[in-house]
Amino acid sequence: MKKIILTTVLLISIMSLYAQNFGMRAGADFATAKAEFDGFSISENETGVYIGLFARLNISESFKIRPETNYININDLDQIQIPILAEIGLSDKFNALAGPSFGFLLDTEEGSKSFNFGLDFGLSYDITKKFLVEARYSLGLSNLAGDDFFDASLKLHGLFVGVGYMF
């Protein structure tokens, strides 16, 4: 697990060397854990915080690749999330974001899985050249329930709302 996280952080760091812009982002995560077990479905909502770093790799004027590394804290659940997003300029200031996300739960219970794959999509608005606001939904696709004996599933989703600052 540690090797995966270190390798991913190293790859993003190398990619960031070629980035034209670096930034920091922070905000609130309105998370949902959805469990299904034996025909029943239960959802639990919690609010947490996130902080992260990102880079913008300019492919063209209206298309960028945006690798990120984020730390997410929701009550007693900590996660390192590494999305690799396509950023598509819709106008001068509005951008659409979409791409895969790789999550690593840091404090899983015995029998639970710690790798969370998902898809992120959302919008960002550049207030100035330095400041931006964004809203993004992270759709967790991985089943984090470790015991498949009862045909149980547990998936994490989150709505991220926050601000960013470009260096």
Beta strands in the chain (DSSP E): 21-37, 40-58, 63-74, 77-89, 94-105, 115-126, 131-140, 153-166
Three-state DSSP class for 9? helix
Q: What is the CATH number of domain 2-166?
A: 2.40.160.20
Closest CA to 93 of 133, 144, 34, 43: 133
Average pLDDT, the chain: 87
pTM: 0.83
pLDDT in tens, 67-117: 999 999 998 889 999 999 999 999 999 999 999 999 998 887 777 788 989
46 pairs with which residues across the strands?
31
Phi, psi of 4 (to 5 degrees): -65, -45
pLDDT in tens, 18-42: 556 889 999 999 999 888 887 788 8
Break the chain into its structural domains and give their ranges. Answer: 2-166
Q: 107 is written with which tokens?
A: 């404090």
